[in-house]
Amino acid sequence: MEVSLGTLLRMPGVPVAAIESGTAGTSDARRAARQPGAEAIIQVSDVIKVFREGDVETIALRGVDLEIARGEFVALMGRSGSGKSTLLHLLAGSDRPTAGHVIVGGVDLSRVEESERARLRGSVLGIVFQSQNLVPFLDLEENTLLAASLADRPVDRSTAGEALARVGLGERAHHRPAQLSGGEQQRAALATVLVTRPAVLLADEITGELDSANATILLDLVSEMHAVESLTIVLATHDAEVARRADRIVELLDGRVVGDRRIR
């Protein structure tokens, strides 16, 4: 009988070493709430993530199954420690699962080398995390030009300026990140994503350190990117109000998906 890794993780007394050598099963659950008839751009299958420090093992994800359609806006919601940020980092290719498969844009990130994962981050993914990934000694225009160049989609200064103007920072193009507020830095990070024209935007707790006014401005911009450009967005948050901006909410608790529903 075929037993999934996620099922094994739910069995008491099963060591991680045994789990890692197990046989992955299949599940239709991850397709349940995906937009009907749409192509899946993200597929997560029976994913387990274990962090080790010496003899201590921490299981962050326990058999996660999920599919996200091209053009969907999905919120990963859960309290701190639920596994949502771990899952987002696996989707970004900045880490690998201990077991299972993470497929983004047709590429199985759990099976390819870092060079291929880096190529995907440049060509398919736009990433905005709480740390804005802006180069501190470059101004906003230079940061935007650099992001486009690294994605192998170089643009001129005029296009970089248009991206900054779109996020309300046209007049701050020659300011460095340290000269901006937290909300402005997050909007600048969005501008660096805009110029790379990604298929998927991954955003991790991007409003976590902002006041309500700046959070609203940022979320309005993200919603506009989704509506205007049919961008696929996966946003991790612990805030129910933020999650309600999405089309679909996937709830995580203790490394498991415990809810998956469409809200529009």
In this structure, is residue 16 part of a structural domain?
A: yes
Model pLDDT, residue 112:
87
In this structure, is residue 150 part of a structural domain?
A: no
Contacting residues for 145 by C-beta, under 8 A, at least 6 apart: 154, 155, 157, 160, 195
Give the domain range for residue 62.
5-124+198-262
In this structure, is residue 76 part of a structural domain?
A: yes
In this structure, is residue 171 part of a structural domain?
A: no
In this structure, is residue 95 part of a structural domain?
A: yes
Which residue ranges in the chain fall short of pLDDT 70? 1-38, 130-132
Model pLDDT, residue 91:
95
In this structure, is residue 149 part of a structural domain?
A: no
Model pLDDT, residue 210:
85
Model pLDDT, residue 132:
64
What's the CATH code of the domain at 71?
3.40.50.300
In this structure, is residue 115 part of a structural domain?
A: yes
Q: How many structural domains comprise the chain?
A: 1
In this structure, is residue 136 part of a structural domain?
A: no
Task: Report the distance separating Cα 172 and Cα 139, nearest Å.
Answer: 9
For the full predicted model, state whether its pTM sits above 0.85.
no
